[in-house]
Amino acid sequence: MDKSPTDAHLARAGEVWRRLPYATAPMGWQLARTEALFDGLVAGAPPTIRWYMPARPALVLGRSQGPDRADLAATRAGGVAVHRRTSGGGAVLVDDAALSLDIALPTSHPLALTDLTRSYEWIGRVWTDALHHLGILDASAIPTAEARALAALPADDPLRLACFGTLSPYEVVVGRRKVVGLSQIRRRPGAIYAIGVHLRWRPARLTALLALDPTTRAALTISLAGAAAGLDELAGRPVATPEIMAAVESALTDRLGIILTPGPWLAAERAAAQSARERFRPMRSPAVPALTSAS
């Protein structure tokens, strides 16, 4: 593996990062815990990573997407909670085939570049290394110039509704199919990079939960099948969650020279997550009762 000049300049060899325990919990809790990482940074926590999956399926909308983007009757019938995250982008269905990773860095950290686009570069390279280790040798992080050279989608293109329907710089692709999605949240204490990958890509499950007419839904399902891919398809075999986590963590340490050390949540983070739960309760409309089983 060759390090880029950027990696070599920004890496802090021997720096200790905290690895929080892998967790399953309702998605409202997971989103609250992501926000709580900022409180950890304020309390002096080191750079931190955490892996998670939801305890139950959830449709997570981007910051600018309202509840009208979801077919709330369909989500209610399917027992799927609907949440809005604080990062941008489109909708994503998180379930037992969607693995998420948060990386929290303090503002002063050299990897938390003020250039928001370039700040993704090292993450794209780390995930590319990891996918190569998993046997997905065609994976690459799409450079800024290539991503911006792609034809812009019309404003009303349904692909814009889905997180994995569009491409941004340094997201990991095979061909032009998105494999690893990236987003971030910035606050005064630092940056949280929210990263997602599908073990299995099943776009029909997502489109069935969006507020679309049948013709548009069918067309979007076909478009999404060509816009993204799951790891099982690309690797030609099932890829287990622990295998993915190990590959990414190995790439983090190999490329950046950091040391990952298991650690617990701080008291400040636990309190902040509890306080934030209300903000991330499932969305609802007057016509559709709230789900009682989520978060």
pLDDT exceeds 70 at position 9: no
Mean pLDDT for 115-129 is 96
pTM: 0.92
pLDDT tens for residues 155-197?
889 999 999 999 999 999 999 999 999 999 999 999 999 999 9
Taking alpha carbons only, the member of 164, 167, 161, 154 closest to residue 209 is: 161
Q: What are the domain boundaries of the chain?
A: 5-276
Q: Report which residue type is found at 102.
A: D
Can you give the C-alpha Rg of the chain in angstroms? Answer: 18
pLDDT exceeds 60 at position 61: yes
- Rounded to 10°, the helix 121-133/241-256 angle is 130
| Contact indicator for 207, 195 with CB cutoff of 8 Å | no
- At residue 295, the pLDDT reads 31
- At residue 117, the pLDDT reads 93
- At residue 153, the pLDDT reads 84
Strands 81-84 and 58-61: parallel
Q: Which CATH superfamily is domain 5-276 in?
A: Bira Bifunctional Protein; Domain 2 (3.30.930.10)
Taking alpha carbons only, the member of 86, 47, 51 closest to residue 242 is: 51
| Per-residue pLDDT band at 89 (split at 50, 70, 90) | confident
pLDDT exceeds 60 at position 289: no
| Element holding 102 (H helix, E strand) | strand 98-106
